[in-house]
Structure 1
Amino acid sequence: HYKADNFEMLEVRTHHGENRIQDASFAVGDDINLDSYYTASRFQNPPSRKFVSDTNERFDLEKTLEASKDYYKEYEAFEFEQMEPNEERNIFFSLKTTPEMLKDTSAIISVRSVYVPDGSYPNHKVKELEMEIVTSHDPNKMSSNATLMNYRLVRFKTFKFKIKFQNNGEGPASTIRLETDIPEMFDKQTIEVTDMYPECPICPDEREVNYSCLDTAYTDKQAIFTFKNIYLPGSEQKNVREYDSTKGFVKYKVKLQKDFHKQTTRSRTAIIFDKNDPIITNYATTRFMTGLSIGAKAGYSFRPGADRDLKEYFAGITFSPYKSYRGYLQAELMVGASSFDEISEFTEEEVVDDVFVNRYDYTEQIEGKNITLYGVPISYRYNLNNYAAVAGGVQLKVDLSQQTTTDSNGAYTLEIPSEGEVIRDESQDIRTRVEHDCSFVNFQAGVFAGFNVGFARIGPSVGARYVYYFNQPHQQVMLHAIWKF
């Protein structure tokens, strides 16, 4: 029994035309005569009447009303008309209480009902209901059909989320607030509630209402769903037999932003029952399927400081996850075609009997063609933003085919130094051609670092790569263009 008035009557809802009585006074004109009865019987001595004692049935109505008014803070009186035997009717009361009462989880409040079948007689029944102020809490879950998505196909797709909760407390909950994280890639303006339990309409924006409704609000990073003026019983509450009646949920659908990145997101919901502390759900994780992006790559390479001026053009394909957001792995396979053309001149002399000198002036031309296979088994690339990326990894190289042709022409001249005579004799000229073919030679392994500018995630870009091989020749520079699909 509390000294302060902790409850305020907000609303009374009737459904059968019951009338509220402002002055609940009764003018009792007759007494109930329990000893008199009228019966028709074929026996001379009819059976005696038996009364079943009902501890809730009383006969001094005035005393009951005075005692009730002294004990309870407020009361309401209603008049029922044309009520049939065994008929059941309901009146709903909405009470507002203080935060102090909600915090006092050991408090017990009492509600008394006095039922007067006929205002002309004092007999009546009294029913009392005791209710304990208890906390309401919830094991809950957040789920979604957006757990694994195909990035190529999601742009115009609508995703569904469901927040499930259950009141496992010992008392009912009247207000349930769901504070749900909305990842940045989803457009909060497209959120639409598709289903809910307890079922109720969406709250109007322009005014506060006293009936059950679901209010929706948004912050920068959250959507807030609030069940107002509801009755969700607790699973540990007395007289609760339907376990499913203690459960609730909100279903909503949402679309993606126009510009979003391929990244994993996590969202969860804080569920607040009445004035209790928030209960945090599990994480609902949104992932994208890795997908496969195949890129076409072509470019030009050269070797700084090499003995030969090797001109090489290459083309190939790349394999990487589709439109990765930041860091990702990439493999490459390329084929290069190179050629070189060298001309050298040198002289060979042979002295005969210290009188004659046989001299050959050689012109040697070497032509070479290589078909080279490049492989990048693994590399790590990091997108700095939409337009720039850096990379590093391992590169392997082997010449699949190497063809070399050496043409040598030696012009013969006979010199007689003592006489100062030089005789050119073309019949003694030497002409040779040497062809050399080999396969799978010149294997090299090295590491590289490079960069790309353009459309880093998908589409065209250009870049450069510096490769350092562990054996000679050590250095290689590759300039390339790539288009990722």
Structure 2
Amino acid sequence: MIQKLLPIILGLLVQIGYAQQDTMLTPIDTFQSNIEIYEVDGVFHFKPILRPLVQIPGGRTPYYKYLWDFGDGHFSTQPEPTHQYAQPGNYEVSVYAVNNYDYGPKPKRPKKPLQSNKPANTAIASLQPNAFEQNFFSSNGIFQIYKLSDAKPGEDIQLVVGVNTGGQKGKVFILSNEKIAGLNGFKFANQSKYYQEQLDSLVQKDQLHSMWASVKQSTFTKTGSPDYGIKEVSDFKSSQQAIDYFKDLYGAYNSLSAYDIEPSIAEQQFSLINLDVTPDMLVDTNTIVTLTGVFIPENGIANVHQVDIPVVKSHDPNKMSVRPARMSYRFQSKNKTLTYKVQFQNDGEGDARHVRLEMFLPPEVRKETFRLKSLYPKCDTCATPNALGCYQYTIKDNGALLFHFKDIALPGTASKTLTDPDSSKGFILFEVDMEKKKFKNKSFKSYTDIYFDNNPPITTNISTSRFRQIWSPIVTVGTAATFGTPEENTLKHQFKPGIQLGFGLAPMAPYNKPFWQAEIYTSYYSRSSETGQLEEKGVITFVENGRDMKYEYQATDSTVNRDFLSIQVPLQIRYNINSWVSVGAGVAFRKDFNTKFSNSKTYFFTSAQGVENQHTIENTNIEKEDSPIKYNPFFDINLGRVYMGPAIGFRLSYDKNQKSYSGIYGVWRF
């Protein structure tokens, strides 16, 4: 019986172990991937052996996307490519594969060595390029970056950086990790050196001014999937204008790597760069991040190429992305434009003739400000006379923004004649403005229903833009007053309010949830302490009319005046009820420093003539009186621009000496 139970118990333990693992970890492929290779007349044929694709129940037909590295500086995206080596020698072939619509993990990259015995009768640059390399420089003809896949946290991403040198030496820079995203989402893993690239990952930005100053012209292009068709040329009239342009460009990124180009090796050069996608990207899945490449040749005619990379949870070609994913609430009045990208793929057998995108945007978006930046398939608006394949958009009664591709021919991935899966993809890239009056401290969620002809809709992911967590400095100016007249033994204290100056720090525009706020401030106040008249007998001696006189006194009173400099460090938990009211409660750590002090004592006596009289003596037996560190609980309320801007604050505190005291102050959150 025990022997029968052991496997069950072990199985349960294994399942518990898996359940306790981090669900965000990327599953590992255990399939033994391989590559089949055979040669015919010096031409090598390659076939990948990968884990069989697993279709998600009820989902689309899965497929692989490939990037072949032939080990000699040439690449291909064909499923089963062929290649001829220019030089005999030993090479290592590998294939990167990305599984789309697949239920399983990303396959491991198989590698396989081969030996080419072809005579060395051609140079590497004279080989006839394959279709991937022939069409590589579609944006500007000089410099471009290709991405194999979108960025999935926990995986790596492959980039092919191509340079058409034109006989010019130069330097290539790769900029990643945009500061606007606030994440170190990409980490440099490795780079190929097929063309003797001299890698330099420690470039100092302040040492680049001389290189920037030599640039006469720069061509800017941008792609996603596929090419956006964006091309801008900037002519620099002075070296300072060029320096400012590249300084702003480089300053937008946290990570910088570079390598040198030697044109004598080959006219066209392709470098494979691997970037790890860190778990930090989990914060902003379904957003768009941008990677920028810069090629600065000797002749000063530079090229800047950007590639948009959506951050995804799964490799699903139908998705909606937004930029910026995390906005600065401090500057929201200046940056209230959202850029959306909706991409889709036809996975049927025939061409899709009509593709409708029904986009559900947040109510804070002004849909009438829709501005189309780029689209694919390329077509004109249906408002153009005699338009065949065209597009049109409108706002539906339910508030959805409808974009309609009409009479197009988008091929399907299941077509037997399809050679490039990317040709079955389409997208729209557009901008919309936010409604300033409704631009509140909240997240903005969007999604799209995609209709291919008369098929049921495919619903994309939910794309979210939110305010990133930043810190807000706080300045306060105010005063405080004490309720009543506190007593201590026989002393009655009276306090005179003084000026309070303070500085604080809190999260900027936190959502409607509790948050911490820390402050430090100083205040100056006066305290007058009186005993009142007390019965006390004794003898007092003082000079009167030039003579020492002694009198028996029957009563005394005394007064002590002190000025204090108070240092307080309040810590509190606050909650924004709305954009105009905020409440908080906490405790202030306080120490009072006695900066000035004086006292007087009055003696009441009867003279020899029976007349009641009194005599006052100043500054007798008094010492400095600094307080120990005290803990004062308090309640606080702010009325005004409690997210950012000016407000009025009221604070009620308790002190064992001052009892209850309150303060009114002005506060400004920056």
State yes or no: 1:268 paired with 2:441.
Answer: no
Paired with 1:359 and 1:477, the residues of 2 have a C-alpha distance of 41
Q: Secondary structure at 2:422's aligned position in 1? A: helix
- 1:148 corresponds, among 322, 326, 332, to 326
Does the CA-based 8 Å contact 2:357-2:403 persist in structure 1?
Answer: yes
State yes or no: 1:339 paired with 2:526.
Answer: yes
CA pair 431-223 structure 1, distance change in 2 beyond 3 A: closer
- 2:497 corresponds, among 278, 291, 312, to 312
State yes or no: 1:396 paired with 2:588.
Answer: yes
Could you report, residue by residue, the CA deviation over 1:117-176 in whole angstroms, capped at 9, with x for unpaired residues? Answer: xxxxxxxxxxxxxxxxxxxxx741212221122234453444322111112233332111
**1:456: which partner in 2?**
642
Paired with 2:445 and 2:393, the residues of 1 have a C-alpha distance of 21
**2:552: which partner in 1?**
358
Paired with 1:154 and 1:341, the residues of 2 have a C-alpha distance of 50
> Is the radius of gyration larger for structure 1 or structure 2?
1
**1:214: which partner in 2?**
391
Does the CA-based 8 Å contact 1:334-1:373 persist in structure 2?
Answer: yes
Could you report, residue by residue, the CA deviation over 1:301-347 in whole angstroms, capped at 9, with x for unpaired residues? Answer: 23334232222332212323345564463322221211122343333
Q: Secondary structure at 2:620's aligned position in 1? A: strand
State the Cα distance separating 1:429 from its structure 2 match.
8.5
Does the CA-based 8 Å contact 1:266-1:286 persist in structure 2?
Answer: yes
CA pair 183-430 structure 1, distance change in 2 beyond 3 A: closer
- 1:349 corresponds, among 529, 537, 549, to 537
- 2:601 corresponds, among 391, 408, 414, to 408
CA pair 429-338 structure 1, distance change in 2 beyond 3 A: closer
**1:278: which partner in 2?**
457
State the Cα distance separating 1:203 from its structure 2 match.
1.6
Paired with 1:398 and 1:435, the residues of 2 have a C-alpha distance of 23
State the Cα distance separating 1:350 from its structure 2 match.
5.5
State the Cα distance separating 1:424 from its structure 2 match.
8.3
Q: What pairs up with 1:376-391 in 2 under 5 angstroms?
A: 376-385=570-579, 388-391=580-583
**2:621: which partner in 1?**
434
Paired with 1:282 and 1:163, the residues of 2 have a C-alpha distance of 10
Q: What pairs up with 1:93-112 in 2 under 5 angstroms?
A: none
Q: What letter corresponds to residue 504 of structure 2 in structure 1? A: T
Q: Secondary structure at 2:417's aligned position in 1? A: coil
Q: Secondary structure at 2:381's aligned position in 1? A: coil
Q: What pairs up with 1:30-429 in 2 under 5 angstroms?
A: 139-157=317-335, 158-204=337-383, 211-219=388-396, 221-259=399-437, 260-305=439-484, 306-307=486-487, 308-313=493-498, 314-323=500-509, 326-327=512-513, 329=515, 330-343=517-530, 344-349=532-537, 358-385=552-579, 388-402=580-594, 404-411=597-604, 413=606, 422=610
Q: What letter corresponds to residue 586 of structure 2 in structure 1? A: V
Does the CA-based 8 Å contact 1:155-1:256 persist in structure 2?
Answer: no
**1:132: which partner in 2?**
none
Aligned length: 332
**1:62: which partner in 2?**
none
State the structure with bigger RCO (CA 8 A, min sep 6), 1 or 2: 1
**1:101: which partner in 2?**
none
Q: What letter corresponds to residue 521 of structure 2 in structure 1? A: M
CA pair 277-326 structure 1, distance change in 2 beyond 3 A: same
Paired with 1:429 and 1:446, the residues of 2 have a C-alpha distance of 40
Paired with 1:335 and 1:431, the residues of 2 have a C-alpha distance of 30
CA pair 184-318 structure 1, distance change in 2 beyond 3 A: farther
Could you report, residue by residue, the CA deviation over 1:16-59 in whole angstroms, capped at 9, with x for unpaired residues? Answer: xxxxxxxxxxxxxxxxxxxxxxxxxxxxxxxxxxxxxxxxxxxx
Does the CA-based 8 Å contact 1:173-1:232 persist in structure 2?
Answer: yes
CA pair 139-424 structure 1, distance change in 2 beyond 3 A: closer
Q: Secondary structure at 1:244's aligned position in 2? A: helix
Q: Secondary structure at 1:245's aligned position in 2? A: helix
CA pair 464-423 structure 1, distance change in 2 beyond 3 A: closer
Does the CA-based 8 Å contact 2:504-2:520 persist in structure 1?
Answer: yes
Q: What letter corresponds to residue 434 of structure 1 in structure 2? A: N
Paired with 2:360 and 2:612, the residues of 1 have a C-alpha distance of 95
Paired with 1:440 and 1:341, the residues of 2 have a C-alpha distance of 16
State the Cα distance separating 1:432 from its structure 2 match.
5.6
State the Cα distance separating 1:235 from its structure 2 match.
0.7
**1:484: which partner in 2?**
669
Q: Secondary structure at 2:423's aligned position in 1? A: helix
Q: TM-score, normalised by structure 1?
A: 0.61
Does the CA-based 8 Å contact 2:599-2:618 persist in structure 1?
Answer: no
**1:12: which partner in 2?**
none
Does the CA-based 8 Å contact 1:139-1:168 persist in structure 2?
Answer: no
Paired with 2:343 and 2:650, the residues of 1 have a C-alpha distance of 53
Q: What letter corresponds to residue 467 of structure 1 in structure 2? A: S
CA pair 442-246 structure 1, distance change in 2 beyond 3 A: closer
State the Cα distance separating 1:251 from its structure 2 match.
0.9
Q: Secondary structure at 1:241's aligned position in 2? A: coil
State the Cα distance separating 1:366 from its structure 2 match.
0.9
Does the CA-based 8 Å contact 1:156-1:255 persist in structure 2?
Answer: no
State the Cα distance separating 1:249 from its structure 2 match.
0.7
Q: What letter corresponds to residue 436 of structure 2 in structure 1? A: K
Q: What letter corresponds to residue 395 of structure 1 in structure 2? A: V
Does the CA-based 8 Å contact 2:601-2:616 persist in structure 1?
Answer: no
Q: What letter corresponds to residue 477 of structure 1 in structure 2? A: S
Q: What letter corresponds to residue 391 of structure 1 in structure 2? A: V
CA pair 430-361 structure 1, distance change in 2 beyond 3 A: farther
Could you report, residue by residue, the CA deviation over 1:426-477 in whole angstroms, capped at 9, with x for unpaired residues? Answer: 9x987661322244515124242x32333333333223222346x5655332
CA pair 221-400 structure 1, distance change in 2 beyond 3 A: farther
Q: Secondary structure at 2:408's aligned position in 1? A: coil
Identity of aligned residues (%): 25
CA pair 408-147 structure 1, distance change in 2 beyond 3 A: same
CA pair 197-370 structure 1, distance change in 2 beyond 3 A: same
Paired with 1:373 and 1:425, the residues of 2 have a C-alpha distance of 43
Q: What letter corresponds to residue 575 of structure 2 in structure 1? A: R
In the alignment, structure 1 segments of 5+ residues that lack a partner are 1-137, 352-356, 416-420
Paired with 1:458 and 1:168, the residues of 2 have a C-alpha distance of 49
Does the CA-based 8 Å contact 1:376-1:393 persist in structure 2?
Answer: no
